[in-house]
C-alpha cells in the first residue's frame, strides 16, 4: 500500500503525548500526588552539581549594576522606552514578580522567577512584562548562569529605582530559578476577564473567590488567596469589577496587601512610591489585543499580546487599558503623586481603550510630557485604585503623613520595596552578595541570633541522648515534639522549621496542635540546665537543638526495639531566638488547620475548609516540605507507629507495639482481611474489623486511609509492607526524618538547592 496508508487505518493522528483530556479532566477531584515531583533536578539543565552561590560570587555587583543602569537608558527599536527610560516598566515587572507572594501559604513571590511561566506569564495584568524580560535577555546572556532570572528581575527593578533617585535599602541575590511551571498552587476561581464584565451584581454573584461582597455577613477572601482578582496584580485598577468605586477599591487593596504581608503604611508607600514612576498604557481596545504568551502563535517566540495598531509599541502601546502618567516627571523620584492626588479634584473619564480613569477637574493642573511625542503635554491620570487612598480614612492618614514628610515616605518606600522583593527568601543565610550583610534587623526576616557559648562535640551528643531518654519522657512524646518543632517549615517562603526554637515561644507554644509538647519542653529545659551546669569550657546546647536531639534519640531507641539498630544523624548549631524577634501575627499564619503527619484536624475544620478534603491539605503540606511521595509515605507510617498523634490517641497507629519502628502500619493498612467503614457521616474517621474473626482492630482517619486508597501512595506503601520491607523502612524513615529536621538549616548547607 501507499505511504501513509496503514493496514488498519490509523494514519490520521488525533493526539500526542500529554494532550488533553488529562486525568484532571476525567477526575477533577483526584489527589495529584505526582505534583510532589515537579521542579526537581530532572527539569534543571544545570544539574545537581551547579552551585549558584559560588557562581553568583564571581559577579562584580557594582559592575553588574552599572550595566543594568546603562541598559535602562539605552532604547532599542523593537520596544522603544517611554521617556527614554526602561526604569518604570522594569519596576512594574519586578513588583509583579514579587507581588504574587501570599502569607497564608508562603507561595508566590519573586524567588523563582515564576513570571516566566504560565499561568503567571499570561495573566492579563502581566501584559507586556514579557517585553520587559525579553529586553533583559542580552544582560542575562552576558552573565549566564551566574545570574538567575529571578535575581536579575529584582535587581533590575531596584537599579531602576536607584537610577531615578530613590535611595534603596540594598539587594541580596540568591534566588534560584524554577525550570517548569508550577501547576499546583491554588490561584482560586476567577470570573474577571477584560471582555466579560457585565454588571457589578452579575460579577458579585459569579465570583467564588469572595464571600460577602454582595453585602451578606463576613466579607472575606478565601484563604490562601491574596489577590482580589487572579489575573490582576492584584486588585482591579478600575475598582471592583470595573465599578469605578474608590471605596470598594480601598477594601480590595487592604485585603490584598494585608495578605501580601503589608500593613497600611507599607501599602501606601508601595503604591504611591511605585506610581511616582512611569505610565499606564491604553491606546487600543482590549478586544483587538492578541493572545497571551502561553497560547500566542508559535512565530511570536514566546511573546504575547500582539498589538495590531501602528508599530504596536511606543506611542501605540496597549497594556492595561488605562492611559496616562500620574506625575509631571515620571522618571524622577519625588512627592508629586501624593501632592497632585490631594491638591486636585479628580473626575471619572475614559481612556482611548475605554477604561475608567480619573482626570483633574482643574484645567490649570500640571500636565505631563508625552512618553514619545516631543513637545506634546498630556493631562495627569489617576486610577480608581489610586483615588482609593484619598477616600479611605486610614489610608488618607498615611498619605497625609507622607505628604508632610517626604523623607519618611522615601524611607518607608525603600524599606517596603526591600521587604516586597526579599520576603520569600527565608533566613538571611540565603542572602548572597556584598549588600547582603546589611545589619537590618527586620522582623519579617524571622531573625536568628548568633550561637552562644562553645559548641558541643559528639561525646556531648551521646551524653545528651542518654540524658534525654533517662528523663522518662516517652519515645512518642520526644518524637512528637521534635517533629512538631520542624513541621512548620514551608519551602515556599523558607519560613518556619526547628531552628530558632520557636516551638517554645508564642504563638506556637499556644497552638492546640502543639499542646502535647509543653511538658516535654519543660523536661528538656531541665536536661539543658543540667548539661550547661556540668559541661566544661562554657558549652551550650540550644533548646532548639535539644528538641531535635531528643527526637533523634527516640527514633534510635525505636529502631533498636525493632531489631534494626541505626544511628540517626544529628547536626547541631541551631539557636534559640527570642519572643521579641518573633512576629507573632506573621507566625500565626503558619498554624495548621490540619496536619496529617500528626493526625491532626482542627475542631472547626469542616467550617473552615468545607470544600477541601484533609488529604488535600496533607498533600499541600508534603509539598511545602519538599517531600517526594515515598518520603511522604515512609514518614507518615513511621510517625504513626512511633505514636506521634497530636491528641496522643491511637487512631491510625495500626500497631500493637507503639514506639517500635516496625512496619506494622504498612502491613495493616494493606491487610485485605480488614474491612474499613465510616464511624459516622462526617467521613473523617473510620474503623477496621477483621472479616475472619469479626474483631474490631483499628480506627483511622483520612490521613491514614489515603495511603491505602490512592494508587500511587499505595504503591509506596507496598514497598515497605512486604517481607523484605523492615530494613528499607528504617533506613528510609531515618533519611526522611533527617531531611525534615534539616529543612531550614541554610546556615550549614548554604543555599540548599533541592529537597
- Min. distance of Cβ 426 from ligand HEM in angstroms? 22
Stretch that binds ligand HEM, among 87-95, 481-489, 527-535, 685-693 (CB under 6 A): 87-95
Instruction: List the one residue from 65, 92, 423, 528 that touches ligand HEM (CB under 6 A).
Output: 92
Among 96, 229, 281, 429, the one annotated catalytic: 96
- Min. distance of Cβ 157 from ligand HEM in angstroms? 8
Residues 258-287 interacting with ligand HEM (rule: CB under 6 A): 270-271, 273-275, 277-281
Angle, helices 543-561/475-486, rounded to nearest 10 degrees: 130
Q: Which is nearer to ligand HEM, 269 or 482 (CB)?
A: 269
Of 201, 176, 188, nearest in space to 113 by CA: 176
Residues 159-188 interacting with ligand HEM (rule: CB under 6 A): none
- Min. distance of Cβ 62 from ligand HEM in angstroms? 24
95: contact with ligand HEM by CB under 6 A:
yes
- Min. distance of Cβ 153 from ligand HEM in angstroms? 13
Q: Which is nearer to ligand HEM, 69 or 735 (CB)?
A: 69
Residues 350-389 interacting with ligand HEM (rule: CB under 6 A): 383, 385
Mapping DSSP to helix (H, G, I), strand (E, B) and coil, where does residue 349 land?
Answer: strand
Q: Which is nearer to ligand HEM, 99 or 173 (CB)?
A: 99
Instruction: List the one residue from 39, 156, 158, 320 that touches ligand HEM (CB under 6 A).
Output: 320
Q: Which long-range contacts (CB under 8 A, 24 or more apart) does 300-305 make?
A: 302/130, 302/134, 303/130, 303/131, 303/134, 304/121, 304/122, 304/130, 305/127, 305/128, 305/130
Q: Which is nearer to ligand HEM, 273 or 643 (CB)?
A: 273
33: contact with ligand HEM by CB under 6 A:
no
Instruction: List the one residue from 39, 81, 85, 89 that touches ligand HEM (CB under 6 A).
Output: 89
Greatest extent of the chain over all pairs of C-alpha atoms, in Å: 93
- Min. distance of Cβ 253 from ligand HEM in angstroms? 5
419: contact with ligand HEM by CB under 6 A:
no
Is the separation of the CB atoms in 453 and 538 below 8 Å? yes
Mapping DSSP to helix (H, G, I), strand (E, B) and coil, where does residue 279 land?
Answer: strand
Stretch that binds ligand HEM, among 23-31, 91-99, 533-541, 632-640 (CB under 6 A): 91-99
Q: Which residues pair with 369 in a beta bridge?
A: 377
Of 210, 183, 223, nearest in space to 103 by CA: 223
Catalytic residue list contains 96: yes
**Number of Cβ atoms within 10 Å of the Cβ of 459:** 8
Angle, helices 264-274/246-259, rounded to nearest 10 degrees: 110
- Min. distance of Cβ 91 from ligand HEM in angstroms? 4
Site string for ligand HEM, 468-487 (x = CB under 6 A): --------------------
Cell match 502491613: residue?
Answer: 667
Rounded-to-integer distance, Cα 414 and Cα 158, Å: 9
88: contact with ligand HEM by CB under 6 A:
yes
* SS3 labels along 66-127: HHHHHHHCCCCCCCCCHHHCCHHHHHHHHHHHHCCCCCCCCCCCCCCCHHHCCCHHHCHHHC
Rounded-to-integer distance, Cα 661 and Cα 400, Å: 63
Q: Which is nearer to ligand HEM, 276 or 482 (CB)?
A: 276
Site string for ligand HEM, 216-255 (x = CB under 6 A): -------------------x-x---------------x--
Rounded-to-integer distance, Cα 444 and Cα 175, Å: 18
Any residues with CB less than 8 A from the CB of 686 and at least 6 apart, and which? 676, 677, 678, 679, 699, 700, 701, 702, 704, 705
> What cell does 423 get?
520576603
Residues at the site binding ligand HEM, with contacts judged by CB under 6 A:
82, 88-89, 91-92, 95, 235, 237, 253, 270-271, 273-275, 277-281, 319-320, 322, 383, 385
Positions marked catalytic: 96
Amino acid at each position: 500500500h501507499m505511504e501513509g496508508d496503514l493496514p488498519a487505518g490509523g494514519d490520521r493522528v488525533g493526539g500526542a503525548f500529554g494532550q488533553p483530556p488529562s486525568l484532571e479532566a476525567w477526575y477533577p477531584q483526584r489527589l495529584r500526588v505526582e505534583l510532589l515531583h515537579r521542579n526537581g533536578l530532572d527539569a534543571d539543565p544545570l544539574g545537581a552539581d551547579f552551585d549558584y552561590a559560588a557562581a553568583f560570587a564571581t559577579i562584580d555587583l557594582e559592575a553588574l549594576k552599572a550595566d543594568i543602569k546603562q541598559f535602562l537608558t539605552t532604547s532599542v527599536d523593537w520596544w522603544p522606552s517611554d521617556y527614554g527610560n526602561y526604569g518604570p516598566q522594569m519596576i512594574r515587572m519586578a513588583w509583579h514578580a514579587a507581588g504574587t507572594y501570599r502569607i497564608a501559604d508562603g507561595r508566590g513571590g519573586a524567588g523563582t522567577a515564576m513570571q516566566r511561566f504560565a499561568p503567571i506569564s499570561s495573566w492579563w495584568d502581566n501584559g507586556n512584562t514579557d517585553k520587559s524580560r525579553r529586553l533583559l535577555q542580552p544582560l542575562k546572556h552576558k552573565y549566564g548562569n551566574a545570574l538567575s532570572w529571578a535575581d536579575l528581575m529584582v535587581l533590575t527593578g531596584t537599579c531602576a529605582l536607584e537610577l531615578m533617585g530613590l535611595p534603596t535599602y540594598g539587594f541580596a541575590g540568591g534566588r534560584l530559578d524554577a525550570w517548569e511551571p508550577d501547576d499546583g498552587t491554588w490561584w482560586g476561581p476567577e470570573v474577571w476577564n477584560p471582555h466579560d464584565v457585565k454588571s457589578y451584581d452579575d460579577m458579585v454573584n459569579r465570583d467564588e473567590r469572595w464571600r460577602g461582597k454582595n453585602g451578606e455577613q463576613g466579607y472575606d477572601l478565601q484563604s490562601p488567596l491574596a489577590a482580589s482578582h487572579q489575573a490582576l496584580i492584584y486588585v482591579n485598577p478600575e475598582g471592583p469589577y470595573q465599578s469605578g468605586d474608590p471605596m470598594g477599591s480601598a477594601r480590595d487593596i487592604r485585603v490584598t496587601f494585608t495578605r501580601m504581608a503589608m500593613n497600611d503604611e507599607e501599602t501606601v508607600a508601595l503604591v504611591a512610591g511605585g506610581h511616582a514612576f512611569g505610565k499606564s498604557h491604553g491606546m487600543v481596545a482590549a478586544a483587538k489585543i492578541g493572545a497571551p504568551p502561553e497560547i500566542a502563535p508559535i512565530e511570536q517566540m514566546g511573546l504575547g499580546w500582539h498589538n495590531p495598531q501602528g508599530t504596536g509599541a511606543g506611542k501605540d502601546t496597549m497594556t492595561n487599558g488605562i492611559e496616562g502618567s500620574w506625575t509631571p516627571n515620571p522618571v524622577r523620584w519625588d512627592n508629586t503623586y501624593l501632592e497632585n492626588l490631594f491638591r486636585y479634584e479628580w473626575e471619572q473619564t475614559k481612556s482611548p481603550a475605554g477604561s475608567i480613569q480619573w482626570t483633574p477637574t482643574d484645567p490649570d493642573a500640571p500636565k505631563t510630557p508625552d512618553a514619545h511625542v516631543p513637545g506634546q503635554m498630556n493631562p495627569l491620570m489617576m486610577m480608581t485604585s489610586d483615588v482609593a487612598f484619598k477616600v479611605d480614612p486610614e489610608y488618607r492618614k498615611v498619605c497625609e503623613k507622607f505628604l508632610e514628610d517626604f523623607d519618611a515616605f522615601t524611607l518607608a518606600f525603600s524599606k517596603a520595596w526591600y521587604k516586597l522583593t526579599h520576603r520569600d527568601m527565608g533566613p538571611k543565610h540565603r542572602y548572597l552578595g556584598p549588600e547582603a550583610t546589611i545589619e537590618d534587623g527586620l522582623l519579617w526576616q524571622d531573625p536568628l541570633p548568633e550561637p552562644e557559648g562553645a559548641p558541643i562535640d559528639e561525646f556531648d551528643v551521646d551524653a545528651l541522648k542518654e540524658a534525654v531518654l533517662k528523663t522518662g519522657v516517652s519515645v512518642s512524646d520526644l518524637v512528637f515534639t521534635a517533629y512538631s518543632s520542624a513541621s512548620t517549615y514551608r519551602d515556599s517562603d523558607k519560613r518556619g522549621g526547628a531552628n530558632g526554637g520557636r516551638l517554645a515561644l508564642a504563638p506556637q507554644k499556644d497552638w492546640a496542635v502543639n499542646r502535647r509538647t509543653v511538658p516535654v519542653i519543660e523536661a528538656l529545659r531541665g536536661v539543658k540546665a543540667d548539661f550547661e551546669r556540668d559541661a566544661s569550657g562554657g558549652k551550650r546546647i540550644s533548646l532548639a537543638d535539644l528538641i531535635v536531639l531528643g527526637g533523634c534519640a527516640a527514633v534510635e531507641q525505636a529502631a533498636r526495639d525493632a531489631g534494626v539498630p541505626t544511628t540517626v544523624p544529628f547536626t547541631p548549631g541551631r539557636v534559640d531566638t527570642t519572643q521579641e524577634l518573633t512576629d507573632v501575627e506573621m507566625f500565626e499564619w503558619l498554624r495548621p488547620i490540619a496536619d496529617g503527619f500528626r493526625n491532626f484536624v482542627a475542631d472547626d475544620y469542616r467550617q473552615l475548609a468545607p470544600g477541601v478534603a484533609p488529604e488535600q491539605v496533607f498533600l499541600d503540606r508534603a509539598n511545602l516540605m519538599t517531600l517526594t511521595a515515598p518520603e511522604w509515605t515512609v514518614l507518615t507510617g513511621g510517625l504513626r507507629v512511633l505514636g506521634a498523634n497530636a491528641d496522643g490517641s491511637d487512631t491510625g497507629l495500626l500497631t500493637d507495639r507503639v514506639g517500635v519502628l516496625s512496619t506494622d502500619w504498612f502491613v495493616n493498612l494493606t491487610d485485605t482481611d480488614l474491612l474499613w467503614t465510616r464511624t459516622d457521616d462526617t467521613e473523617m474517621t473510620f474503623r477496621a474489623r477483621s472479616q475472619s474473626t469479626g474483631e474490631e482492630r483499628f480506627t483511622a482517619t483520612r490521613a491514614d486511609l489515603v495511603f491505602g486508597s490512592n494508587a500511587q501512595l499505595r504503591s509506596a506503601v507496598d514497598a515497605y509492607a512486604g517481607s523484605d520491607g523492615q530494613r528499607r523502612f528504617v533506613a528510609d524513615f531515618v533519611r526522611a526524618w533527617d531531611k525534615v529536621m534539616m529543612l531550614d538549616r541554610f546556615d550549614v548547607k548554604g543555599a540548599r538547592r533541592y529537597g
